Amino acid sequence: MEVIDVFFKTLSQKFREETKLSDIIWIMCSSSEIFQNIFLEYCFEKNISVAGEIIREYYRNNSKPDFYFIDKNDSEYIIENKIYDHGDHFDQYINAFPNATRSFIANYIEPEHKGWFIKNWENFIKYLEEKINNNMKNEEFEFIQSFVFYLKSVTNYWEVKVMNFTNLTSLYNFSKIITEIIQQMGLKEYNIPSNFNEKWYGKSFFYENKDGKNVYIWLGLYIPEPSGVYISFNHFQDENCLPSTERKKIENLTSGEYYDETDNEYGDFFIHLKDEYYTKLCNENVDVSEQKDIIKNFLTENTKYIPIHQTINLPFQHLYHQ
């Protein structure tokens, strides 16, 4: 993998928040005139010549759009970026910037609003890729192509591909194995709506620590890129979901025998199962007992330092045959 690809991949793991995306878009516009032209052309459906530079977070009358600039005719423009946050400020921005041309871009479908160009990141990615494919001999477009990986990741872009329903039972087997491990460790399972949706498939559970406080954990599959098996300590900064004694130990995790990456950008603390073990979970020629041990060892490695007082000392095989 090229250095620039590794750079944007790493960037997508650590700079995922809405404000971070706006920062990176601003950097891309400042670094590449080609990218800036494409981005503004998509947002406003015309070619624009910017006078000076695009301003990041421009304040006026208690309003702060993500991007502000003027063109060479002294006309004002603003752009607002959203990732899942539906707290829009359409009327407020119209009052603060009555003469501006306005664009709103999000990673969800937003209805039309009078006085606004309503756009979405998914269509921008497609628009950008079309431009890249038509200009692959240009070095700057190769750089922009690497950036697309970052943009797809942080906006949770999902490209529909050919489906294969030949082994859906594996998901059920995966769920059963997690349940067995939870029972063996004496953890208490609970159901929340986000356990099973278009992006997540797994189990939520908790235990009571020595101070009588609950610690909430999730184990399962994350399906979009970067897909794989993850452990998540939920609501990482919430004392009611993760007591400070556990948080101090967890936030120091970096890598281990079964995991290689951690990320707490979303407010939850994610731990990624190494690809070498994930590959074995995808191999029908691997014995099921080895697959179970991988999941069990992945969980116990990341909870071994936490005092779980409800542990049930039963053989793993005994639970499997219940």
pLDDT tens, residue by residue, 135-193: 877 888 888 999 999 999 888 887 777 777 777 888 889 989 999 988 888 888 887 65
Count how many residues are written for the chain. 322
Chain centroid, CA 102 distance in Å = 27
- Confidence (pLDDT) at 322: 27
Distance CA(286)–CA(289), nearest Å, equals 8
- Kindly tell me the sign of the dihedral angle through the C-alpha atoms of 21, 25, 31, 32: positive
Chain centroid, CA 21 distance in Å = 12
Using an 8 Å Cβ cutoff, are 204 and 189 in contact?
yes
Residues 134 and 184 grouped into a single domain:
no
Task: Look at 177 and 252; give whichever has higher pLDDT.
Answer: 177
Going by the DSSP 8-state scheme, the letter that residue 62 receives in this structure is: T
Asked, for residue 104, whether it belongs to a domain, the answer is yes
Place of tokens 């591909």: 161
Residues 100 and 178 grouped into a single domain:
no
Residues 186 and 310 grouped into a single domain:
yes
Q: Long-range pairs for 267-272 at CB < 8 Å and ≥24 separation?
A: 267/235, 267/236, 267/237, 268/218, 268/232, 268/233, 268/234, 268/235, 268/236, 269/232, 269/233, 269/236, 269/242, 270/230, 270/231, 270/232, 271/230, 271/231, 271/232, 271/302, 272/226, 272/228, 272/229, 272/230
Query: Of the given ranges (67-76, 216-225, 278-287), which has the lowest mean pLDDT?
Result: 216-225
> Residue 1 pLDDT > 60, yes or no?
no
Residues 195 and 104 grouped into a single domain:
no
Asked, for residue 162, whether it belongs to a domain, the answer is no
Asked, for residue 244, whether it belongs to a domain, the answer is yes
Q: What's the average model confidence in pLDDT over 97-104?
A: 97
In terms of residue numbers, what domain contains 280?
169-320
CA distances from 292 to 232, 276, 286 (A): 19, 15, 11
Whether omega before 226 lies within 30 degrees of 0, making that bond cis, reads: yes
Distance CA(258)–CA(239), nearest Å, equals 27
Residues 175 and 150 grouped into a single domain:
no
Asked, for residue 300, whether it belongs to a domain, the answer is yes
Q: What's the average model confidence in pLDDT over 214-232?
A: 85
> Residue 242 pLDDT > 80, yes or no?
no
- Confidence (pLDDT) at 98: 96
Query: Of the given ranges (143-147, 223-227, 240-244, 312-316), which has the lowest mean pLDDT?
Result: 312-316
Task: Quote the pTM value.
Answer: 0.66
Asked, for residue 164, whether it belongs to a domain, the answer is no
Residues 305 and 177 grouped into a single domain:
yes
Beta bridge partners of 104: 80, 118
Going by the DSSP 8-state scheme, the letter that residue 22 receives in this structure is: H
Which range has the top average pLDDT, 8-12, 229-233, 240-244?
229-233
Burial of residue 256 (number of CB atoms within 10 Å: 0-12, 13-18, 19+): middle
β 67-71/50-56 pair status: antiparallel
140: which residues sit within 8 A by CB, 6+ positions away? 32, 34, 35
Mean pLDDT of the chain: 84
Q: Which of 154, 184, 212 marks a domain boundary? A: 154
Query: Of the given ranges (15-29, 56-70, 264-278), which has the lowest mean pLDDT?
Result: 264-278
Asked, for residue 79, whether it belongs to a domain, the answer is yes
Residues 150 and 181 grouped into a single domain:
no
Residues 183 and 315 grouped into a single domain:
yes
Task: Look at 234 and 277; give whichever has higher pLDDT.
Answer: 277
CA atoms within 13 A on the CB side of 286: 15
Residues of the chain with pLDDT > 90, as a percent, come to 44
What's the domain count of the chain?
2
Residues 83 and 186 grouped into a single domain:
no
CA atoms within 13 A on the CB side of 205: 23
pLDDT band at 56 (very low <50, low <70, confident <90, very high): very high
Distance CA(137)–CA(309), nearest Å, equals 62
> Residue 90 pLDDT > 90, yes or no?
yes
Phi, psi of 81 (to 5 degrees): -110, 140
Asked, for residue 163, whether it belongs to a domain, the answer is no
Q: Which of 128, 154, 180 marks a domain boundary? A: 154
Residues 180 and 316 grouped into a single domain:
yes
Residues 138 and 180 grouped into a single domain:
no
- Confidence (pLDDT) at 314: 29
Residues 179 and 98 grouped into a single domain:
no
Asked, for residue 289, whether it belongs to a domain, the answer is yes
